[in-house]
Amino acid sequence: MPMTMTQKILADHAGLASVEAGQLIEAKVDLVLGNDVTAPVAIKEFEKIGVAEVFDRRRIALVPDHFAPNKDIKSAEQCKIMREFARKQGIEHYFEIGRMGIEHALLPEQGLVLPGELVVGADSHTCTYGAVGAFSTGVGSTDMAAAMAAGTAWFKVPQAIRFVLHGTLEGWATGKDLILSIIGEIGVDGALYRSMEFVGPGLAALSMEERFTVANMAIEAGAKNGIFAVDERTRAWAASVSSRHYREYAADSDAEYERTIVVDLNRIKPQIAFPHLPSNVRPAADAEKTPIDQVVIGSCTNGRIEDLRAAAFVLKGRSVAEGVRCIVIPATQQVYRQALREGLVDTFIEAGAAVSTPTCGPCLGGHMGILAAGERAVATTNRNFVGRMGHPGSEVYLASPATAAACAVAGCIVDPGEIVAAPPRGYFETHL
């Protein structure tokens, strides 16, 4: 039976010759992830199961990142539950302050996720790892507990939508603008419980970091997962982070897709997602110059080194507009140190921005950038629902790091090209 990439990974991990859309299966997991919001609940459920030990202490990752560094007593207690469980169980991959990072940037950076693997995490943006050709998806805390105990999870095999990429992103267009354009086209439920499979000759034009951004926001279209075909970029990335063996999976040429969407990358422009849905998208150049109060550059979507390089390029020699708060959050300690070495942190501070230790904080309205009533923020995060970053009367606009930095300089919604011309394509992958 012909299968998609996702179906092949699920079939292999379930020990089956083939699977089909809609089929219920039990599959082995390669990694189980939890954070300081979801893991404490899972740990309590795990203890109810009655097993003494987790299925494999090397295949569980616990990352307190949402309200860490601890913002209050309750968040401190959440982290304490995780810390004590990790010590008791001998969990190898426990990342706290000093070693921590935003989970979906940290795990790939540490080589904990590779092509062909099956990863579940008690966080909806676990779908990020599809960038490397893995099947990864978010689950509930109870499912996380069961996976920690048994090393397996139940899945309903999803149908798939194929996105065939052609051309090359130009100017200030980025992976963030690509996924915002797609969500704007198909809607927030346009891929509901589907696998979003990205293939085509245009794939080579996307850096690994852009692929992480695209896969990260698959959930914003309602998808079960997003997944990229494995290519030379993927293999080079995998070799740079791990020496572990992995298996590649490719869709059969006659695999069945619910539909195929052809995407011309050359037509993608910098986008802004207006309140209060990621699908409420329009080109930044066509948007009204709406005044803003805050800019947040970071998150599991856009807090990697290429993102910070792009933001610094826009901010270099310029200043954050009076009355605007600009917060920059490197996604991991490694990214932070690289940004220090490259002088990016100096650029941010000289421009009038604040630079934070890695945290999810403001993305979910946790801390480090809460909005008051009536305030507007441009953020490189992934969601802009009502009250997402604070007061229900506040507004969040989603954008790429370059666009967000340009808005910080202008003090309003603006296309980054109005502030500075874009450098050549690929500049931020290697430029120091």
pLDDT in tens, the chain (432 residues): 899 999 999 999 999 999 999 999 999 999 999 999 999 999 999 999 989 999 999 999 999 999 989 999 999 999 999 999 999 999 999 999 888 899 999 999 999 999 999 999 999 999 999 999 999 999 999 999 999 999 999 999 999 999 999 999 999 999 999 999 999 999 999 999 999 999 999 999 999 999 999 999 999 999 999 999 999 999 999 999 999 999 999 999 999 999 999 999 999 999 999 999 999 999 999 999 999 999 999 999 999 999 999 999 999 999 999 999 999 999 999 999 999 999 999 999 999 999 999 999 999 898 999 999 999 999 999 999 999 999 999 999 999 999 999 999 999 999 999 999 999 999 999 754
Looking at residue 100, its pLDDT comes to 86
pTM above 0.85, yes or no: yes
Looking at residue 432, its pLDDT comes to 47
Annotated domain spans of the chain? 5-265, 270-430
Looking at residue 349, its pLDDT comes to 98
Q: Other C-beta atoms within 10 Å of 376: how many?
A: 20
Euclidean distance between CA atoms 309 and 156, whole angstroms: 40
Asked whether this chain's domains 5-265 and 270-430 adopt the same fold, the reply is yes
The CATH label, of 3.30.499.10, 3.40.50.2300, 3.40.228.10, 3.40.220.10, for the domain at 270-430 is: 3.30.499.10
The CATH label, of 3.30.465.10, 3.40.50.300, 1.10.1740.10, 3.30.499.10, for the domain at 5-265 is: 3.30.499.10
Q: Which two tokens stand for residue 380?
A: 């490189």
Euclidean distance between CA atoms 11 and 373, whole angstroms: 49
